[in-house]
A and B are shown apart, each in its own frame.
Chain A
Amino acid sequence: MKFLTEYRDPGLVAQYLDEIRRTVTRPWTIMEVCGGQTHSLVKNGILNLLPENVRMVHGPGCPVCVTPLNLIDKAVYLAEEKGVILCSFGDMIRVPGSSRSLLEAKANGADVRILYSPLEAVRLAKENPDREVVFFAVGFETTAPANALSVLHAQRLGLTNYSILASHVLVPPAIAAVMNDDDVRIQAFLAAGHVCTIMGVGEYYALVEQYNIPIVVTGFEPVDLLHGILMTVRQLEAGKANLENQYSRVVKAEGNPEARKVIEQVFTVTDREWRGIGTIPMSGWEVRPELAAFDAGKKFDVRIAKAPECADCIAGLVLKGIKKPVECSQFGKACTPENPLGAPMVSSEGACAAYYHYAEV
């Protein structure tokens, strides 16, 4: 596969590993922000190949994991009580709400559908004029353009039966929140390549300066990750704190202006609750007030009381990189992918699931 196999080349991987080993003189702790990167590190066995002095800590970049419990309850409520066609990306539907997941709601007869694109949901709305169709629009900056586009598309088609239940989250405020946490000891970040593909790299200069930490925008394939780690440790060893772009074949400094325009048309920045972490100021996007007709949270009366989180789950500590999944007393015991206590055990991007499925040998 062109553009993939060359980034999985064993020879290049060995070269980067050698170079990292030669560069590192003391222990460093680096956080990869994105769950996709966590997954790739574990799935390819990279964590076992890195020298001991390079400690990777897994960040909060798993959209499914940080979607608030209350919002899942709302989605379940819309599907069960309001009879909507509730559409969602795949890995969201297994995340436990306070009483049940969307998957369980589906088994109980609710009309829950797994889609790959929100535009498919708009098509469903067009084909089912007598039904309400709600798309569960979660994710980081990466998924926002498509979700925004679905609203604009529905508006253009004059559909009144389409809305989104939005809970978008943003990476830069999350990095700030991690750095502001007194328990966190992160010395550098691998920023999420695909988020920057949309948003560009401009937002990260302020973080580099404010916290005096290296940030390297990094891709997802083994060669990308090792290259990103090498760039990071080179900075750390040299006492530098710069913003660098490892993923320049995909990420342009200005991002994708078209996508950003669409996002701006539909969303506005808001405070956002992150499951396991708490509310982070100005860390999310919600549907603009003038498009409230497409905002399922406003369109339907979905006031659901907030349920408490499972007391045994340490998802918050895992998402902030303070604990590794295997340090949780419930890991692999009371908490498994079949019976998850928290979202990181469900999502394919969740750190707990990554460790469970691909446990280190």
Chain B
Amino acid sequence: MTSITSLACPVPQFDFDVITLGHGSGGLLTNKLLESGVFSVLKNPLLDTHHDGAVFTLTGPLAFSTDSYVISPVFFPGGNIGELAVNGTVNDLAMCGAIPAYLSLSFIIEEGLTMHEFRDILVAIRTAADRAGVQIVTGDTKVVEKGKGDKIFINTSGIGQMHPNAAISARRVTAGDKIIVSGPVATHGIAIMSVREGLDFETDIISDTANLNHTVTALLDEFGEAIHLLRDPTRGGVATVLNEIARDTNLGADIRQVQIPVHDEVAGACELLGLDPLYVANEGVFMAVVAADIADTLLARLQTLPHGDGAAIIGEMVADHPRQVVLTSRIGGRRVVNMLVGEQLPRIC
């Protein structure tokens, strides 16, 4: 995590230690929380107007996206819910082919959250927003009773202008297109699992949460319409996204197990826990379906970009077995990869 001293924004000082219901009342305490906490950390000209909403000008086609973040635990190896909330929505916009510009930010805080924790989350939000080049321009803070939340829930919505070269659509995917993942899969999900209650394994695995917008923009600058589809395989993992792509395109997807990048420690943890890395959540990885003729060039370029060094071509779209994802296993056997049903549950033995 970025150390607080490295930040340009002033570290907020609070005269209270814990957030209580009063901080959500709309009165004096709310104002104190906002003034000395939220606004001072997130400071920017649009937010500083303190209006009911933000007023700005954007032209041309826009993308708009929203997501809620309820991750438990709130602090995890490699990050916290704050940067996740920024990166998640930034990445959703990037997957549309947009250049993220403005975000809204809403907190639902369970009373009892310490100001220390809240400050760390705010700082992570600011850092992530700066890194992604977006501004938080409007927001909301509510406080709910103890037991009615899980420390803190965050919603962010984001808006961005479409990249002029972007033509992202399932309709543009054809048989022969190559499927690319931008980096090793399953890292985020396993980092979270490692600190959940009931699990106690020592690991250095940290979440890969990251903003992918600059990387995607660079690819769109260069390859434009040859990029047919972009998706970020968050919940449900790569397998779920592949199934959605197969369903939406009415094509099949053929993938090869040996080509799917997974960090050794992550693969080991998956073995121990009885999880399939294809179904484990990612936060700093995207998938691209691209025209076959530029796939190798695009891959080589992606490997030079931030968060892309571990990228790989994992398979291709095919006319055979429409709407089905088929994996060729390491040993050469073939099997179907289905949509995840419910939650992946650890097996007994």
Contacts and interface: CB of A to CB of B under 8 A. Distances in A.
Given A1-B268, A115-B198, A361-B336, A10 B331 contact: yes
Contact of B345 (A4, A43, A90, A139): A90
Contacts of A42: 335
A116 B345 CA distance: 11
Nearest to B333: A45
B342 A116 contact: no
B15 interface: no
B198 A113 contact: yes
Contact of B330 (A44, A93, A115, A347): A44
B346 interface: yes
Interface stretch (A244-252, A303-311, A351-359): A351-359
B334 A91 contact: no
B35 interface: no
A242 B345 CA distance: 38
Given A336-B341, A337-B342, A361-B336, A13 B348 contact: no
Interface in A317-361: 336-338, 347-349, 356-361
Nearest to A192: B349
B332 A139 contact: no
A36 interface: yes
B338 interface: yes
A48 B333 contact: yes
B31 interface: no
Contacts of A358: 335-338
Interface in A141-188: 142-143
Contacts of B348: 63-64, 89-92, 138-139, 143, 347, 349
Interface in A95-143: 103, 113-117, 120, 138-140, 142-143
| Interface residue tally on A, bucketed by range | 35 or more
A206 interface: no
Contacts of A89: 346-348
Interface string B307-349: 0000000000000010000101111111111100110011111
A139 B349 CA distance: 8
Contacts of A336: 341
A361 B335 contact: yes
Interface string A33-66: 0001000001111111100000000000001100
A240 interface: no
A197 to B, nearest CB: 11
B271 interface: yes
B271 A348 contact: no
Interface in A9-40: 9-10, 13-14, 36
B199 interface: yes
A194 interface: yes
Contact of A347 (B200, B321, B329, B347): B347
Contacts of A9: 331
A46 B338 contact: no
A11 B326 CA distance: 22
A361 B334 contact: yes
B316 to A, nearest CB: 16
B334 A36 contact: no
B342 A1 contact: no
Interface string B144-180: 0000000000000000000000000000000000000
A40 to B, nearest CB: 10
B22 interface: no
22 contacts: A8-B331, A9-B331, A36-B347, A44-B330, A49-B332, A63-B348, A64-B348, A89-B347, A90-B347, A103-B342, A116-B198, A116-B346, A120-B198, A143-B349, A337-B342, A338-B342, A348-B345, A348-B347, A356-B338, A359-B338, A360-B335, A361-B326
Given A8-B330, A10-B332, A91-B348, 14 more contacts: A1-B271, A44-B329, A45-B333, A46-B333, A49-B331, A89-B348, A91-B346, A94-B342, A138-B348, A139-B348, A222-B329, A222-B330, A222-B331, A348-B347
Interface of B: 197-200, 264, 267-268, 271, 273-274, 321, 326, 328-338, 341-342, 345-349
Interface of A: 1, 4, 8-10, 13-14, 36, 42-49, 63-64, 89-94, 103, 113-117, 120, 138-140, 142-143, 194, 222, 336-338, 347-349, 356-361
The 3 closest A-B pairs by CB, nearest first: A45-B333, A90-B345, A90-B346
